[in-house]
Structure 1
């Protein structure tokens, strides 16, 4: 799939870097190659988050000036479209062998659409004429991105990234919920203040959630509709409190409803099953369940619904 096709098919206060997969270690004195994939954890209260990345480069190594440009063609990315998926930002860029301390993203513009308390939404942009705004958009206030358009957003590695002639793929996790915040005392301005999460360059993983209905358990009728497991959602909450929700489906009609959270940075997550508003669920095991996700090891969490009640 080409970069453009990848964008069509599918960047706050946290970035995290993880080595998704080492490929074809070739050794010798040849330069290495590096690809970068972008994923996202969704943001509660934010309807849209769009940024323009003008360039991406590595800092360090033995090249002149210590900088290796991976991408210098601007790309505008709608972050929330990347939840549970990825987009390719850099494809097999040639990188001289050496050790690199950090990755930098030069971000020159963006906007977000935030949900207000009354249910309406407001748009905050880096400028009224930001090119990434939808046609006819009315800008309510400013989105401030301190220095990211000049020195760039710095993503430090927990350990130096060593390139020794091999091909690597890096996964960048942009957590929308943690990366944008409303400035205190200033209702007309939001600020992008990423907090960089250091992580070892390790393999990402997935969590599969499986839900079955206990023997004799009948889901209630809500607003004239008899509920089924298809009306429930699987919920994943990361260590920073960001939530991702996926519908449960039974693709093979075997009675087990499933959802899969993909492209996860290793760490500890809370997993639970969520019913429509007004329905209280009992499950075995009791929820939420804490799941420790190790490097490159997918995990499965099964729930049995033991009761479902209306107030």
Structure 2
């Protein structure tokens, strides 16, 4: 399937900073403020992915804990609700010594790896077709979910970072136990260095025979995959060791309707992309993309050499090719 695209870079006001923080109360010789939030790239076939966070730690390059923030009230967050530019802060405007923290560790409350003695209510869970299944986070309550930074805090300044979970690559069913593993694939990004990719998808792209598993009424099964670099050949999400390039992140589609509630198109939004060059590709076979294996999903349209600017928005619209009449 071929199509034409419109790539329209524009500038817009985009800032996520520490709330309640500021340089006026900080020791400009030795402390600054840090905020840390979470967001996610979504997964198909789930209604919710809820994780309970209890503590945030900042570590040095020697794995030693430099700062610990124990949450007064554990935060139970539905990561699936945090798509696009939506995020939720775990830590906001906390004063810390200046310097570079090489790693972030999130302590979570989840079902034990044995998946026995399931508590009620579930601390962390995935909801599929209205049913809640226990979510297991290996070592989540002990060594935590540890991610590479770095996080840099300057004297007297506020720094805000976001941990971006890619749920499409992070969740897998745990055999026949009725439990699911969360092995996070994440990015930690500086909010001052990120921009946004947005756009629309032509509903005619769902007319292809390859889109049999997609629902053109809701857009389910359709997704936009984003790859780092300007000339990447798009590929599925998998654990293969072959020299292919997995997507950096993905975005689901939101239907756009007219006054009669008829679907006239779809919108998508990918937030928290570091400034740089990217490739974006539309697929109507996202439901068939199993992260545990190599799937031969197809991409109906590919846009190369997309530039994302910090504090900016770039628009890429995927449109079906116009039919040509025979001469």
**What TM-score, normalized to structure 2?**
0.59
Deviation at 1:163?
3.3
Matches within 5 A, 1:64-75: 66-69=66-69, 71-75=71-75
> Could you say which residue in structure 2 is the equivalent of 1:78?
78
Which runs of 5 or more structure 2 residues have no equivalent in the other structure?
1-14, 208-215, 228-245, 285-299
Aligned partners of 2:183 and 2:124: how far apart in 1?
A: 21
| C-alpha RMSD over aligned residues | 4.4
Please identify which structure carries the higher strand content: 1
Taking a change above 3 Å as real, the CA distance of residues 110 and 169 of structure 1, as seen in their structure-2 partners, is farther
**Residue 238 (str. 1) matches residue 226 (str. 2):** yes
Match of 2:195 among 202, 205, 223: 205
Q: How many residues align?
A: 246
**Residue 268 (str. 1) matches residue 278 (str. 2):** yes
**Residue 148 (str. 1) matches residue 152 (str. 2):** no
Which runs of 5 or more structure 1 residues have no equivalent in the other structure?
1-18, 112-123, 221-228, 275-285
Moved more, 31-40 or 99-108: 31-40
Contact kept, 8 Å, 1:145 with 1:191, in 2: the verdict is: yes
Taking a change above 3 Å as real, the CA distance of residues 231 and 40 of structure 1, as seen in their structure-2 partners, is closer
**Residue 294 (str. 1) matches residue 308 (str. 2):** yes
Taking a change above 3 Å as real, the CA distance of residues 37 and 139 of structure 1, as seen in their structure-2 partners, is closer
Taking a change above 3 Å as real, the CA distance of residues 98 and 298 of structure 1, as seen in their structure-2 partners, is same
**Residue 102 (str. 1) matches residue 108 (str. 2):** no
Deviation at 1:133?
7.5
Counterpart of 2:224 in 1: which secondary structure? strand
- 1:58-79 CA deviation, whole Å, 9 max, x = no partner? 1239xx9622427453110111
> Could you say which residue in structure 1 is the equivalent of 2:6?
none
Counterpart of 1:80 in 2: which secondary structure? helix
Counterpart of 1:177 in 2: which secondary structure? helix
Deviation at 1:25?
7.1
> Could you say which residue in structure 2 is the equivalent of 1:6?
none
- 1:233-254 CA deviation, whole Å, 9 max, x = no partner? 9842134444422334689xxx
Aligned partners of 1:125 and 1:236: how far apart in 2?
A: 38
Taking a change above 3 Å as real, the CA distance of residues 165 and 269 of structure 1, as seen in their structure-2 partners, is same
Contact kept, 8 Å, 2:58 with 2:65, in 1: the verdict is: no
Aligned partners of 1:308 and 1:235: how far apart in 2?
A: 24
Contact kept, 8 Å, 1:230 with 1:257, in 2: the verdict is: no
